[in-house]
């Protein structure tokens, strides 16, 4: 019986070219791993670095002015509007939204017109229709938008709001009625951290898109000497917001209500308003606190008169001082003052200030805006 020969396959030796490929591949993989590790180490290092800015750099930077939605009342940012249930908050929110979308003064406060989104999450469209027609008659506007359903903040509301703003680029105001409707239900819903987190997310959105978000919320049942202690939940809500409105009545059936107003970038105020039951609108009665007025800034006054006569002006700080011989100031200090006062120039004098660095040094641009129309009623 013949034995079968076992044939062992012979693996051909790799050629120099193939060995080179294998070696190169091995080196490349090692380099990639090394580069990836270096990148990760750099990211970790960057996370540990505290990024700072000097006082000098602050003064050399022009930050965009914080614009008002309603002058001296509401600015871009995130605000709470707090009151007891069935006190008339929704009527005031509709009134505010209508005036902003129409560009009509609210009481004796000027309004910057723009699109408004009202998330009326406790209402239906039929009730909204009846409410608006009773308040404003047949004068409607395409700039006032409503929704009665939305996602919660952690499940897609931010994307919904982003899509709306992308489609309506002139959006000025977003009203969320109420906070509880966009919150996640859970055991931590009343903790300071969760309260702070939800308002912080809304504030980050309003700051990013340069809009105002007004969040309607309820007061707690317990009375307090400080009206802001009556906000339902923890101090995290007020702590993370840019400001708050507290609406109160002595009795639920009263027509008179007070509005306590506090904000980061505005003076504390207390307004008295009265409800017109026939038309379901709130009318201004009085302001119980007189707004403090800053002393006149002589330098800004001189610049404002000059720009008003020129309409537009462009040049260096040295050239500007050459036109304004009444001002005794170093050019670099004048530039820093204008950088700091960009918001005051805009709000008090309707002057746009810009600064840029070019071949000829830092250039200043000043432009007088057209006066706001005061005859809109």
Q: What is the mean pLDDT of residues 6-21?
A: 47
pLDDT attached to residue 273: 96
pLDDT attached to residue 300: 96
The 10s digit of each residue's pLDDT in 126-137 is: 999 999 999 999
Of 97 and 44, more confident: 97
Domain edge (last residue) among 256, 287, 318 = 287
Q: Residue 359 domain-assigned?
A: yes
331 three-class SS: helix
pTM, two decimals, is 0.77
Domain edge (last residue) among 257, 287, 317 = 287
For the domain that residue 305 is a member of, what is the CATH number?
3.30.56
Q: Is the pLDDT of residue 372 over 80?
A: no
333 with 277, same domain? Answer: no
In which order are the strands placed within the sheet that holds 281-287? 144-147, 115-120, 171-177, 212-218, 77-83, 243-248, 256-263, 266-276, 281-287
- Among candidates 212, 256, 228, 18, which has minimal Cα distance to 96? 212
96 with 241, same domain? Answer: yes
Confidence of residue 373 (pLDDT cuts 50, 70, 90): very low
pLDDT attached to residue 357: 84
pLDDT attached to residue 187: 47
Of 84 and 146, more confident: 146
Mean pLDDT for the chain overall: 84
Confidence of residue 221 (pLDDT cuts 50, 70, 90): low
Q: What is the mean pLDDT of residues 165-171?
A: 96
86 with 206, same domain? Answer: yes
321 with 272, same domain? Answer: no
Confidence of residue 224 (pLDDT cuts 50, 70, 90): low
Q: Residue 22 domain-assigned?
A: no
pLDDT attached to residue 23: 46
Q: Residue 47 domain-assigned?
A: no
190 three-class SS: coil
Q: Is the pLDDT of residue 14 over 60?
A: no
Confidence of residue 31 (pLDDT cuts 50, 70, 90): low
229 with 345, same domain? Answer: no
Domain edge (last residue) among 267, 287, 307 = 287
204 with 342, same domain? Answer: no
In this structure, of 53-62, 144-153, 224-233, the range with the lowest mean pLDDT score is 224-233
114 with 218, same domain? Answer: yes
Q: For the chain, how many structural domains are there in total?
A: 2
pLDDT attached to residue 145: 98
Q: Where are the beta strands (DSSP E) in 127-218?
A: 144-147, 171-177, 212-218
pLDDT attached to residue 226: 59
Is the peptide bond prior to 178 cis by the omega test (within 30 degrees of 0)? yes
pLDDT attached to residue 44: 61
205 with 275, same domain? Answer: yes
List the domain range (segments joined by +) for residue 321.
295-368
219 with 256, same domain? Answer: yes
Of 194 and 90, more confident: 90
Q: Is the pLDDT of residue 264 over 90?
A: no
What is the Cα–Cα distance from 280 to 329, expressed in whole angstroms? 55
């Amino acid at each position: 019986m013949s034995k079968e020969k076992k044939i062992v396959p012979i693996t051909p030796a790799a050629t120099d070219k193939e060995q080179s490929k294998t070696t190169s591949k091995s080196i490349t993989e090692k380099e990639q791993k090394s580069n990836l590790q270096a990148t990760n180490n750099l990211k970790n290092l960057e996370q540990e670095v505290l990024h700072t800015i000097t006082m000098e750099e602050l003064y050399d930077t022009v930050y965009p002015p914080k614009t008002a939605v309603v002058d001296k009342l509401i600015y871009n940012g995130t605000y709470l509007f707090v009151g007891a249930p069935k006190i008339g908050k929704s009527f005031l929110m509709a009134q505010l939204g209508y005036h902003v979308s129409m560009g009509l003064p609210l009481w004796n406060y000027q309004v910057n017109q723009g699109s408004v989104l009202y998330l009326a999450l406790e209402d239906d469209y039929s009730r909204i229709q009846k409410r608006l027609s009773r308040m404003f008659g047949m004068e409607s506007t395409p700039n006032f938008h409503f929704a009665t359903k939305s996602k919660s903040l952690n499940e897609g509301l931010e994307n919904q709001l982003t899509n709306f703003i992308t489609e309506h680029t002139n959006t000025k105001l977003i009203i969320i009625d109420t906070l509880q409707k966009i919150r996640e239900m859970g055991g931590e819903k009343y903790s300071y951290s969760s309260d702070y987190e939800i308002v912080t997310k809304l504030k980050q959105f309003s700051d990013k898109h340069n809009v105002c978000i007004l969040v309607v919320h309820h007061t707690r049942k317990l009375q307090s000497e400080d009206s802001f202690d009556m906000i339902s939940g923890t101090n995290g809500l007020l702590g993370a917001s840019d400001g708050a409105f507290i609406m109160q009545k002595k009795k639920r059936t009263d027509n008179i209500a007070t509005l306590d107003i506090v904000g980061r970038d505005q003076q504390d105020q207390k307004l008295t308003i009265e409800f017109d039951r026939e038309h379901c609108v709130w009318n201004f009665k009085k302001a119980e606190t007189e707004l403090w007025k800053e002393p006149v800034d002589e330098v800004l006054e001189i610049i404002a008169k000059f720009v008003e006569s020129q309409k537009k002006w462009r040049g260096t700080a040295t050239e500007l001082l050459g036109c304004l011989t009444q001002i005794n100031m170093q050019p670099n200090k004048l530039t820093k003052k204008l950088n700091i006062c960009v918001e005051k120039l805009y709000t008090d004098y309707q002057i746009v200030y810009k600064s840029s660095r070019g071949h000829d040094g830092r250039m200043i641009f000043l432009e007088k805006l057209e006066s706001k129309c005061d005859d809109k009623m």
